[in-house]
Each structure stands twice: as C-alpha cells, then as structure tokens.
Structure 1
Amino acid sequence: MKLVFSIVSALLIGMNVSFAQKNMLKGKVLDETNQAVPGVALILEGTVRGVQSDLSGSYTMRDIPEGDYVLKVNMLGYEEIKLPFSIKDAENRELNITLKEAPLSLDAFEFTVSRGIMGQERLPEVDRFRINAGKKNEVIRVGEINANLAMNNSRQIFSRTPGISIWENDGSGIQLGVAARGLNPNRSWEFNVRMNGYDITPDPMGYPEAYFTPPMEVVEQIEIVRGASSIQYGSQFGGLMNFVMRKPDKSKRFTFETLNTVGSNGLFSTFNYLGGTEGKWNYTAYYQKRVGNSWRDNSYFNTDHAHVEVNYAANNRLLIGLEMTYMTTESQQPGGLTDEQFNSDPRKSTRERNWFSTPWFIPALTAEYILTENTKLSWKAFGTFAERNSVGFMRPINQEDDLGNRQVDRDFYTTYGSEVRMITEYSLFGKSNTLAAGLRYFNGFIDRKQLGTGDNGTEMNFDLISGGVFRRDFDFTNINQAAFAENVFRFSNKWLLTTGLRYERISSNMEGLFNIVNEQEQILLPQNRTRNFLLVGIGSEYKITPSMEFYTNFSQAYRPVLISDLTPPATTDIIDENLQDSRGFNFDFGYRGAVQNWMKFDVGYFYLNYADRIGTIAQQNNDGTINQFRTNLGNSVSQGFEGYVEFDPVTALTKTSKFGYLHLFASLAFVDARYGDFATTSVREGVVVEGNLKGNRVENAPRKINRYGVTYRYNRFSVTWQLSDVGDAFSDASNTVAPNAASTVGLIPAYRVQDISASMDIKRKYILKAGVNNLTNEMYFTRRAGGYPGPGIMPGEGRTIYFTFGLKL
C-alpha cells in the first residue's frame, strides 16, 4: 500500500507542475430553452482529449497544443454538433453551445430514461474497442439503483437482469456468486469476470473463480454480455461480466465524496472517493473500509479496498494510464448446517474456528492511440498477485468440532497478461462497416498448498505447527494465446450482420506432491496438455422502427479443463489421458426496444448446449479392484425464456406530474436445464452398476427466476420495493430430494424475499440512504456446500437494516 500511494503522490506532484497552462477553451452548453445541460461529452475530434460539462453546463479544456480543431459535442437525446475552431498559444477561447433535441432512437431512449431512475440499459452497437451489435447484453447502472451498495447486495443489484441466479451465502459482501441459464453460480466461474476490461480472477482458463469483487459504491456500471461475448473476450459459456469503475470527473479539477453506512449486526462501512481533471491529466482514487458481524453466529468480516487511477494525454493521439487495486480481507466463516439445525435456528453455527482471507493486488497499464480518424488502438497489460487462505475444522457438518488441530489450505496466484485491440471504421458498397480485432497473451501460475496441520486455536492463523508440512503441494501453470476478429456489415439503415472468429491455444502443466500417507510421499503424475482450436460466431439485428429491433446470435463456447479436473480426490483415481475441454454454443433470438419515453423491454429465447461435460465414473478392473475414472461423460442443454420490461404509467398518461413518477419493472426467466446422454455408475456390494442422468435437471438451476419492483420518485427523493421469487433447485445431478445426513445433497426449496430501499439527494451535496433487506424475515437458503465455506446448508440472511449518510464536494 505504501508503494501505491507513493506512486500516486509522485503523479499528483507531476500534475501540479503541469498546471502552468498554455491556453484554455471554455464555454457553456445549453438547450433550446437556455437551460444548462450537464454531462455533455465535448471531444476534440481525432484526439484523445475530452471533457464533460458540469452541473451548470460549463466546461473547460486546458493545455491544448496550438492548432486547428473540430469540437465534437455529443449527448444522447440531442443532435450531434461539430464546431471548427483555432487556438493559439496562451489564448483563452470561449465557445458557447446550444443543443437541439434529436428524434427518439433506441440508444437515445436508453440514455434519457437512465437519467431518471431506470438502472438497466444496453450497450451501443459499437463501443470504443468492441462490437456489441447482434448480442444480448445488459448494462446495470449501479449508481442509479436503490440498493444496499455498502454490502454489495447482489439480489438488488441484479434485480433487473433476467435469469441471474445468485448464491446468497456470503453476508460480508466480499464474494459474488452469480450465473445464468442453468450454469453453476460458484464464485461466478462460468462468467469471464473482468474489471475495466482486464482479468481479475486467478486464471480464466484454469481456475476462473472470482474471489475479488470491487465495492459497488465505486462501480459505475456492470456490463453483461451473454455467451455471444466468446469471440471477443473468451469462451466462457456464461459470457462476459465486466465491472466498470467510476472514471475521473472530467468536469472538475477536484471532487470528493464520502459515504458512511451503519446497519444491523454491527455493520460499519466508510467509502471515500476523490478525482478530477486538470489539463492533460485526470485521476481518481478511493478507499473503503467495511467491518461487522454477519447475520449468523460465529461470523465476522473486516475488509479494506483501495484503488488509484491516473491518466495522461501524452499528445493529442496518445493516452496512457496506470491503475492499481488492492484488497485485504479477514472473514470468519460460520460453516454449514444440517436440515434439522436450519429448521430449528438458521442463525446457529457449530463452527467458531473457521477463517478465510484473500489478499488481492491488481496492477494494470493502459494505452490508447488514434492512428487515423477511423482507426484506434488499445493496449492493456495487467497482473494479479493474490492469495486464497483458509483455516478451520473441515469435517462433515454433522460431526462435532473436536477442538484439535485445524486444517490449513493456501493458494498463491501470480499471473500477468496483455491484450492489444484495434477497431476501424471503413466504407463498403456505400455503407459504413466496423472491424474489431485483437491479440491476447496470458500466463498464470498457481502454487497450491493444502492439507496442512494448523494450530488448535480460534483466531485467524494460517501458520503450520512446528515441524508441520502441507501434505499436498503442487504447481499449476497455464499459458493462453488468442487472436480474434469480428466485423459488422451494415446492409441498410435497418439491417446489420456480425461475423467473428477466435483462435485459442492453451498449454497447461501440473506437477508436484499429491499426498503424504504413513510418511510416504505420493507424487502426482505430471499433467501436460496443449490444445488449439477455433471458435465462430454470427449475429444480426433488424430494426422494425428506430426504437425497436429483432436480434439473434449464435456463438461457440468451451470450458477448458480446470485445475480441479486434473486433481484426483484419491491416488487410486485415474484421469483420462484424452480428457477434452467441454464444448458447446449459445443461441439467442429476441426482440427489444422502447415505446416512446415511457416503456422499454427486452424479451427473448435462448438455447445453451454444454457438451463433453466432465465427470467421474467407477470402473472395475480385471483383478476385481474398482477405481474412479474422470473423463468426458455427456452433455446438458439449457433453454428457455428471458424477459425484462420497465414501465412508467405516469409519463404514459400525463407526460408530466407535480406529484412524482412511478416506474414498475418485471424481470422474468424460465429455465429448463436438463442432462442429455450422461453416463453414471455406482458401486453396490462391490459391483459396478451403470446408469444415466438423461432427463434429470441440472444441479443449482432453478426453473423460475422472477423479480418484480416499483420505484416512486419525487424530485431528488426515490424509494424502491422489490420481490425476488425463485423456484426450487437440486443440489446434485441425481436430483436427490431427501437430504443426506451431512446435508450436502437434497432439494433447495423455492423462496420469496422482499427488499425496500430509499435515497435522497439534498442540494446535490448531501446524500441520505436507508433500507430494509429481507423485509419479511424469510428463512431460506440457496446453496448446499460440499466443502468450504460449508459443508452443509448455507443460509441466506434474515432481516437487516442500514442507514447511509454521504457528502459530495
């Protein structure tokens, strides 16, 4: 941390030196009624220089090299303006601008409603260095949602995004577990999880579990592109989930914000942010401290997050930046429950000595370069230096803690990577087309140390006892190279087609110590695998009106063989030498758009084919012995309906109102996720009995995921009520209904949970927020864990309240 803030201090000193300005362009942006228009983007065309208008409509752009320019003025909902001008050295130039309203289009509608209280948008067809046309996608505008952001309440944050299933077992808000379309929510590992466009997981291709989640108070938006993102970002079946952090304020030299939250179970959170723009520099930094006891007994969390970002316009064509993110956590894990314990008292805990910690450091260097007016380049270099540490009593939950030595497991992650992207606009047959292409390199190293003997205490301590060793100690290395190209062909103003290819090469190596039994070391058979393959994708959009369109997409996907797939539970297990990556595809067909300025919607059908799924079967050898064999066993198919609609009846009927506005939304999903031909075996009285999962529902896949809500807004006050209505799910592929003694398998019942949150902004300076989560104190759970952080039932949280006071300067 000292290194982080030393670098920031040096950069800020450099900024102060640069504040001796050469010249200045300033002015005001007004609409046709002479009202100020804040948030307008003002860019020097063909350069990386740009600012935004502030709340009074004023803008200032400093330190512009002498020359001739075109000032491009953009604001969705208004006509674009281009103003040529010249500026000399040491000249102060004033340009005032009047904007005219533009006819309503789908993109304009998405933005104009978002300036109210609708927190769900979609990505534009082409956005900076990527193509989104023809893809099902959602943008969650986090700052515009009434939610408990201090605790990263995912049930509220993803309320408007159809089909998102959530594991609600981490009351600390440290980790996020979400999925869609019948996939597993375990630490969001079926998503390609990124922040500001770069990796933040230990290894997207070898160990994609997302242990790090940024504080939602600093997240500007969450971008979700379903499986169609596989061509541009990677092959995950779930698609892309990208956290976009709040960018430096381009309208002020300095801005400061503090949000301080108190709540149930000793919650205290303080979030502090500063940022601004000065000449060629812009900067931002935040620090969050969150501490408290979760809803259950024997639970405690203490987290620190810090982030800095500094960008510098080296010249009119080149922008370079530095980002650094740091997290440290201390989390007491209450463990799981048996069904009997849950029914008696869900707050109960029989584990008081289990702890978890994930220190995380993510640096990134970025650069953007404008080659020509139509062609831009982007480069990102990034790394992750992190740990995953746990200590505790890990026996089945129906066994009493013997207060003996605890088990210590530790992972050490060291990764680095780089991505280069290019996007260009070109003309073909009189139509403008877009090509995006890129190259990627990633090197991930995981040092895994497990089954260590720790102390017999109760505090967080990951040291081994004197003379102790880790009985399992191996290394996993994964190198990934990729290249992609995707193109938008525009055949008319109504119809476009996207096509894309992605080439992947993955080289994996794993070796080391598997276990120590009776002082005899058992060495893991080295695993070396190299794979090369090609993915294809195609999509299309057809506009029925300027604000409504059909869209469809087909994109291939795959799930590489993970570190867990290559690690046998026992030395008698055998890994198939020809174990293949799981392959499949996503298909979407939908209709989305807007009705004037009072309703928007997105409804569609999806089909997800997940082939070559990996599993373990029993095999009987010629000598009568039985071993477990891990191989590709079969496939599953998820299909169903996803729909989202948001409606403002007041605007629809009266256009304007003195008494405020209502927004009603519904996010609906029906998911039928089932196994196809999938072989299984069991051992009965020493004999292998074969079976098949065909027709069984996929585990952890509710058939119904519906969320409803209503928001009332009056001036700067708003309040939101929402209901989450989620169907039942199975915890295992065999669809076991009755729980076992350890409660690791069995039915996960349906549940309904209500939340209410309110916010008020006073004079755009003081912020007040409050809310109640789980309003009716519903007792429910979303997960049966087989291991950490269980094992057993992981209850959701009961009723909690929170209050937030904030200040903006």
Structure 2
Amino acid sequence: MQQRSTAALLLLLVLFMQQPALLAKPVHTMRTWVLDDTDPLDKGGLQGYVVDANGKPAGGLQVRLRGTVRRLTTDERGYFAFRDLPSGEYVVEASGIGVQPQTQTVSVRRAETATLTLTVQEDVQQLAEVSIVAAKGLRERETLPDVGATAIYAGKKTDVINLDALDANLVTNNSRQVFSKTPGVMVWENDGSGMQVGVSVRGLSPNRSWEFNVRQNGVDISSDPFGYPEAYYNPPMEAVERIELVRGGASLQYGPQFGGLLNYELKGPATDKPIRFETQQSVGTYGLFSTYNRVSGTVGRWQYNAYAHYRRADGWRDNSRYSIFNGYAALSYAVTNRLKLGLEVSRLYNESQQPGGLTDVQFAQNARQSSRSRNWLSTPWTVPTFTAEYAFSDKTRLTATVHGLVSERNSIGFTQAITTPDNLTAAGSGQPRQIDRDTYRNWGSELRLLSRYRLFGQEHTLATGLKYFNGHTQRQQQGRGDTGTEFNLNLQADAFPRDLSLRVTNVAAFAENLFRLSPRWTMTPGLRIETLSNAIDGRLSLSASNVPGLVSQQSTRRFVLAGIGTEYKFSETIALYANASQAYRPVLFSDLTPAAVTDFVVDPTLRDARGYSFDLGLRGRVRNYLNFDVNYFRVNYNDRIGTLSLLNEAGRVYQLRTNIGRSVSQGVEAYVEFDPLLAILGQSRVSRAGFGHVSLFSSLGFTDARYRDFRVATVSNGQASETNLRDKYVENAPTFIGRFGLNYTRKTFTFTALMNRVGRAYSDANNTETPSANAQTGVIPAYRVFDVSASLTLWKRYTLRTGVNNLTDERYFTRRAGGYPGPGILPADGRTGYVSVGLRL
C-alpha cells in the first residue's frame, strides 16, 4: 500500500512538472497532422525521391512525417515509400548529415499514392562532417545532441562511438580499441573472450562495468542495478551501431552509479527495403571462429530485425576455451500515425573455462600457463522488452518500456588461493569443486515524456520520467560439486550451505528542463526523487558455529538528487559546458553478506554511498581538420562501504560492515584529432590529389584518485588498533591513460594504428608495493600495447577486415583478483590476430 501511494505521488509530480509545457504557447501549430485513423478503408500512400542540388539520388537520409512515429531511410536511389497512411495533409521532412533539413506539405487521398521529390542542399555548417564521413576518421567519435529522443544531454560530458566507422577488432569486443577515442576509460583486460566488458572512468572500479548504469537500447541489462550491478552480458559489438557514454551528469535521468550511463544501441531495422541481409564470418588465432548474421526490413507499417551470433576459441592462455551464442529478435508495428508498438528479446548462452590466477613468479615464468583446469563460468541471459511510442505532436512525445530479465550466473571450480594446488589424479579428477549459483528475476517499467515549448521568445525542452523496478536474486553458494573437469552444476550434497533471497524495489521520478536563455546559452536544472527498498532473507551457513544460520534484514529510504548543467556556444562548432550532479551507489547485496564464515555484523545505520560529479569542458571542431574535447572533472565519493575488524565486549574478534570513508577523484580528460593534409592543403586539393585522408589522434586521461578519509581497524594479539589511509591512492586507478593513433583512409580502404599506454596502479587501498605470496595485493605495473587493423569495402557489398592485437606481444596484466575468476594475477592476452569477410545484400 505504501509503494502504491508513493508511485501515485510521483506520478502527480510528473504531471505537475508538465504544466509549463502544456500551458505555454506551442512553437508551431500543426492542425494538419491530426488525422483520423479510425476508418481502416480511408487510407492512401506516399512515395518519392530525395535528390541533391545536381539531381543525383541522396541515399541514406532520414525521411519522416512530422508529428507522427513514421520515419524511413532513403535507399541508394534516394527512394522512400510510406504505406497505409490515413487521408489528410502531411509535412514531409528529409534530413541527414551534411544537408539542410527540407520540408514539403503533401495531401494523401483515399486509395491513391501521392508522389513528390525533395531537393536537399548542403549545410555549410556541417561540411566538416561531410568530409569526415569520407575520411572515416573523425566520424568514429561524436557527441550526443542537446536533446535526444527521450533525454536532455546539453551541458553534459557525452561521447558517441560509431562502430560502423571504427577500425577495431569487433569480433572479440576488444574494448581498448572500441574506446580508443574516449578519454579516461580504464579497461580490465583479463577476459580475452570479450564476453564481459569491464570498463570504468575517473578512478572507479572497472569490475564488469558496475560503476555505470549499463543498458541496451535504453533498457537495464545488468544483474540488478541496485543490488548487484555487474554486467555479465553485453551484446556482440558486430551487432552494435553505436555506444553512448554519459558521465556523472547522467545520474538524474538514469539513476545510480557514479560512472554515469553506458548504453549499447543495436543496429536498427533496414527502413529502405523489405529485406536486408548482413553476414560476417571471421577466423583467428588460437582456434577463433565467429559467425554473425542479421536480417531486417520494413514492410508497410511493420519493421523487423534479428541476428544470430556464435563464437568459440581455445583462448590465448591454457584452460581458457569458450563458446558463446547471442540471439536477438525485434518486431514493431505503427498501429496509427501516432502510436508505435515494439517487442524485442535478447538471448545469451555461454560456457567459458576460467584459467584462474597466477603468482608473480608464475607470471614472470610464463604468463600463458594455468594451474586451474576445472573452473567454469556460464551466464545464460534473457532480456525481453516491450516498447510504446506515442506522438502527441511534433513537439511532444511519450515513450514507455516494460522490460524483464531472466538470467543466471553459474560457476564451478576450485577457488582457493592460487598458492594452494588443485591436486589432480592421473585421470584428471581432483578435490570436490565449489558451485555458486545466482538466479535473477527482474522486471521494470519506465515512462518518459519529452516536450518542447515556447516561452519568452525562446524554445525550451522539458524531460520527465517515472521508473519502477522490482528485482529478485536467489543466491546459492558454497555448494559441493563433483571432482571432474567439465562444466556441470551437479550438486553432490543435499543443499547449498548459503541460500539467500535478495529483493529490491525502486520507484523514482525525474525532471530536467533545458532553458534557452539566448540562442547560444542554455541552462538545465533537474531533480530526481528516489524511493529504494531492499531485503535479504535466508541462510548464511549450515554450520552456524560462528555465523547465525538465518538472516532477515530490510531497509527503506527516500532521498532527492539535484543537478544543473549549462552550455554556451561561442560558435556553431565550439561550446563551453559545465555540469554538477549528485549521485549515489546503493548498498549492495555483497555489503549485507559475509565473505567467509566468521562473526559478522552489518551496521544497522549502514548508508548508501552518496556524493557528486562535476565537469567543466570545452569541445568542438575547427573547420574540417580538427576535433577536440578537453575537460576538468571532480568526483566526490562519500560514505564508501568497507569492513572493520573489531573486538566485542567479550573480547572476541568480529567483522563490522559499515561506512568507513570517502574518496575524491579529479583530473583532466582530453581528446584531440587532427587531419594535417586538410589543414595544409584544403579539401579541394586533397580531393584532386587523391592522397586520401590522414588523421592523428590522442585520447588522454589524467586522474588523481585518493582517499580523503578511510578508516582501517584491525586486531592483533588481542589488541584493536585503528589507522587512516588518508591520501592513499584508490585501487585500480592509474594516474595516466593515454591512447595515440593514426587513421588513414583512401576511398574504401582504411587503416588504423593504435598505441595504448597505461600508468601503474595499486590493487589495494593500502597501496602495497611488495606483492603478496598469493598475488592478490601489490602493484599493477605500467604497460604499453600496440594494435593495427584495416578494412576494405568492395562493390559496396563486400567487406574485408583484418587486424593484429598486441602487435609486440607484450606481457602485462590489469588486474589482481581477490576471488573468482582468480584469485591472483589475471594476465592480458598476448599477440592475437583475426581475418573477417562480410557481405550486405
């Protein structure tokens, strides 16, 4: 009852916030678009061509009917066709990169097909983009627009990675190449399979990207964003059109994590033909084989899109083979010109052998070796999503999603310290393996309304939203498995010693308003209201000598987050931006459960981590030869959670999980890309000479991440002592991340060379210099890695890609793991290569 009343109040708040948009005078009154969709026989069609100033076909442009959900893309002939249109007048708009939007009003009559031709003109302000598309270099990285389809991005630090324009190893999701032009992104490179992407920014942890709100097509895909935000699933990069990354300023519109938003936008359906087929077949070193196949199209009001992807390899290290299947299917239907419904399902199944960790001595001897041959991980993942889009007018749109997650995290293996051998018999069997299983059953819904309105002579934009999430995790751990070597989850005992039911409920509402104070200056304040409840019930251990056998805890809290952003455009291509937003990280399930069987107490006043992010930057381009984005950032991370060893009144040692301190990360992120030929010779001379295009780029991140207050309490020889790790560096946070590269393009051939340079970091908050015997603590040394890749497109349909990763066969590691899939040093892959052949029909 309490949750219903809270949801009702939040809904009223959203409606109240809509009042300015509803009462203000609209920018443009479109009486002609309000069509009667009630008579199914009163239908016609609309077709036509889009051409340039010379009368040549303009393919690849978007054609939409203003004030509706209907939109298409012109084919190679510049042709487009809308079917099943109710009679009435329509405003047709053609737009795209490098052209000025053109509109034309046309009447559609019953049982007739209207025909028109739209002529588009070059947009002088986007000429740089036109040449960049040809060069393919600067096109790889963009920023999000001030206002998107469902959100406001003005004044925020944003990055868009266009994967179709990227020379990179997309076959195995090579993250350091994918994020090569995104400054400050730290990548954990301990999983050569690419099944799990581990990235972070600004001194945060890269552990399965859990400091981000990770989404696919705008929908949560992590285990539980509030209780266990690790992303065990990410789509194959061959299926991704672009990656959107919004840093700290995303907290108001997308909720927790200090890292911001990481969203994978999949390739959409073909809108210029009823069927399009795409295939990519790849082979590589160490038994790599990959096949990716996609079919999509538009038939009248229907659109469909589906792909199947399978990949397997033996892996660079011993005992690191894997196989993975990804499937996706989507279907949408424009019920009326105002309403569009869609359904999509993503499915993953994988099995990967985990080679385990190494000691420092073993790593120096042979980084490819493995002393764990019986460890396996499997994460079957299913994400169903229902979407609805409703156009009230060309200025106001409502989108709604209902999404679910049915998934698991299953592991079996010998998980003791790497210094403890896994003694195998001649037959390959050994000691019983441990089985840990998580099952996730989540569902949620999100309602977003974006409205543009006019006030005091300027156009403003209001974005509001309402979110509900309900998550349930069943965590079963420390099960006794078999003594074999292959993957299975056969439990040899009657029950799992640890069996917990973990639940999360979240209701949230947000509102952000972009105010245009002048044609060049915007201000965007915002608020987010959060109600969060979590509960844990179940058994911690079957042998309750030290830990209570049963546990039952629950907590509910409410709070408000605030933020404000601003942006000033010095010109059409250069802007100054700033943003300050509060953020939080919820108490996780791991914070509520002990890591081992011992006296363990959770502080009844345990608080969610709270803090803020701040950005100040300058971004833009100079003509058609220079792109840049340079910014200062600061992340204040309060109430970090940790464990203290204390003595109780009886003089007995116990572990207290509580808030123990705060950290501050600050630094500079810089991206610069320069085309020297265009700068010296100009576009016309470069084109006449036929040299092609060369771009040089650097992506730099300088981070000073330190603890400002971090309590450490220990017990030794019956005496409790406490120290503070003030001014120690935050673990897994190198002070420097630099990527330097060269792009060369001539006609349909591209070549990219990349150097990745990362400074040293510490693996623990104590900043331990000398590695421990079990290799779980110690320095993570600096490293340097080179990658090269190339592609060639023939006859617009065939694509050849090839590349070599870690060209110089560097031996390095980015992670010391304290537990699974280690423990110990997890080496990154040495030299690997691939060849890929693609076809589009």
Q: Indicate the TM-score class for this superposition, using the shorter chain for normalisation.
A: over 0.9
Displacement after TM superposition at 1:666 (Å): 0.5
2:839 alignment partner AA: L
- Which segments of structure 1 move beyond 6 Å, counting only runs of 4 or more? 518-521
The answer on 1:633 being equivalent to 2:681 is no
Pairs within 5 Å for 1:171-570? 171-402=192-423, 403-465=430-492, 467-517=493-543, 522-569=548-595, 570=597
Which of 811, 816, 819 aligns to 1:779? It is 811
Structure 1 residue ranges without an equivalent (≥5): 1-18
Separation in 2, partners of 1:715, 1:520: 70
- Structure-2 residue corresponding to 1:714: 746
- Structure-2 residue corresponding to 1:756: 788
Instruction: Give the 3-state SS of the residue equivalent to 1:236 in structure 2.
Output: coil
Deviations 1:623-682 (A, max 9, x none): 222211111111000000000011111222221330211011110010000000111122
Aligned in 2, Cα 1:154/1:471: closer, same or farther, shift over 3 Å?
Answer: same
Most deviating of 135-144 and 515-524: 515-524
Separation in 1, partners of 2:626, 2:287: 41
Separation in 2, partners of 1:737, 1:111: 51
Q: Is the 8 A contact 1:21 1:62 kept in 2?
A: no
Structure 2 residue ranges without an equivalent (≥5): 1-39, 424-429
Deviations 1:173-213 (A, max 9, x none): 11010000000000000000000001111110111000001
Most deviating of 564-573 and 216-225: 564-573
- Structure-2 residue corresponding to 1:10: none
Displacement after TM superposition at 1:112 (Å): 6.2
Q: Is the 8 A contact 1:235 1:556 kept in 2?
A: no
The answer on 1:682 being equivalent to 2:714 is yes
Pairs within 5 Å for 1:561-710? 561-569=587-595, 570-654=597-681, 655=683, 656-657=686-687, 658-710=690-742
| Percent identical | 49
Q: How does the TM-score come out when normalised to structure 1?
A: 0.96
Separation in 2, partners of 1:686, 1:461: 44
Instruction: Give the 3-state SS of the residue equivalent to 1:151 in structure 2.
Output: coil
Instruction: Give the 3-state SS of the residue equivalent to 1:156 in structure 2.
Output: helix
Separation in 2, partners of 1:565, 1:199: 22
Q: Is the 8 A contact 1:224 1:241 kept in 2?
A: yes
2:132 alignment partner AA: V
- Structure-2 residue corresponding to 1:169: 190
Aligned in 2, Cα 1:471/1:111: closer, same or farther, shift over 3 Å?
Answer: farther
Q: Is the 8 A contact 2:790 2:802 kept in 1?
A: yes
Q: Is the 8 A contact 1:151 1:172 kept in 2?
A: yes
Separation in 1, partners of 2:641, 2:130: 43
Displacement after TM superposition at 1:372 (Å): 2.6
Aligned in 2, Cα 1:344/1:112: closer, same or farther, shift over 3 Å?
Answer: same
Displacement after TM superposition at 1:58 (Å): 2.0
Q: Is the 8 A contact 1:712 1:720 kept in 2?
A: yes
Separation in 2, partners of 1:686, 1:375: 67
Which of 774, 791, 800 aligns to 2:832? It is 800
2:45 alignment partner AA: M
Displacement after TM superposition at 1:396 (Å): 0.4
Displacement after TM superposition at 1:57 (Å): 1.9
Separation in 1, partners of 2:443, 2:671: 38
After superposition, the CA RMSD in angstroms is 1.6
Aligned in 2, Cα 1:778/1:521: closer, same or farther, shift over 3 Å?
Answer: closer
Deviations 1:485-533 (A, max 9, x none): 0000001111010000000000100010101228999423311100100
Which of 140, 143, 146 aligns to 1:125? It is 146
Displacement after TM superposition at 1:762 (Å): 0.4
- Structure-2 residue corresponding to 1:16: none
Displacement after TM superposition at 1:109 (Å): 5.0
Instruction: Give the 3-state SS of the residue equivalent to 1:176 in structure 2.
Output: coil
1:691 alignment partner AA: T
Q: Is the 8 A contact 2:341 2:389 kept in 1?
A: yes
Q: Tell me the matched-pair count.
A: 788
Separation in 2, partners of 1:234, 1:226: 12
Separation in 1, partners of 2:440, 2:667: 38
The answer on 1:735 being equivalent to 2:756 is no
2:62 alignment partner AA: A
Displacement after TM superposition at 1:22 (Å): 5.8
- Structure-1 residue corresponding to 2:160: 139
Separation in 2, partners of 1:522, 1:414: 27
Q: Is the 8 A contact 1:206 1:563 kept in 2?
A: yes
Aligned in 2, Cα 1:749/1:636: closer, same or farther, shift over 3 Å?
Answer: same
Aligned in 2, Cα 1:46/1:643: closer, same or farther, shift over 3 Å?
Answer: same
Displacement after TM superposition at 1:111 (Å): 7.3
Separation in 2, partners of 1:540, 1:616: 40
Most deviating of 798-807 and 114-123: 114-123
Separation in 2, partners of 1:221, 1:739: 40
Displacement after TM superposition at 1:571 (Å): 4.1
Which of 53, 74, 77 aligns to 1:32? It is 53
Q: Is the 8 A contact 2:42 2:110 kept in 1?
A: no
- Structure-2 residue corresponding to 1:68: 89
Displacement after TM superposition at 1:72 (Å): 1.2
Separation in 1, partners of 2:504, 2:129: 40
Separation in 2, partners of 1:21, 1:153: 52
Q: Is the 8 A contact 1:139 1:224 kept in 2?
A: yes
Deviations 1:349-370 (A, max 9, x none): 0000000000000000000001
Q: Is the 8 A contact 2:731 2:761 kept in 1?
A: yes
Aligned in 2, Cα 1:112/1:470: closer, same or farther, shift over 3 Å?
Answer: farther
Deviations 1:258-306 (A, max 9, x none): 1000000000000000101111011100000001111000111111000
Most deviating of 619-628 and 242-251: 619-628
Which of 119, 123, 146 aligns to 1:98? It is 119
Separation in 1, partners of 2:170, 2:292: 11
Most deviating of 341-350 and 618-627: 618-627
Q: Is the 8 A contact 1:452 1:468 kept in 2?
A: no
1:619 alignment partner AA: L
Most deviating of 210-219 and 515-524: 515-524
2:137 alignment partner AA: I
Pairs within 5 Å for 1:49-64? 49-64=70-85
The answer on 1:113 being equivalent to 2:145 is no
- Structure-1 residue corresponding to 2:20: none
Separation in 2, partners of 1:620, 1:61: 74
- Structure-2 residue corresponding to 1:13: none
Q: How does the TM-score come out when normalised to structure 2?
A: 0.92
Displacement after TM superposition at 1:42 (Å): 0.7
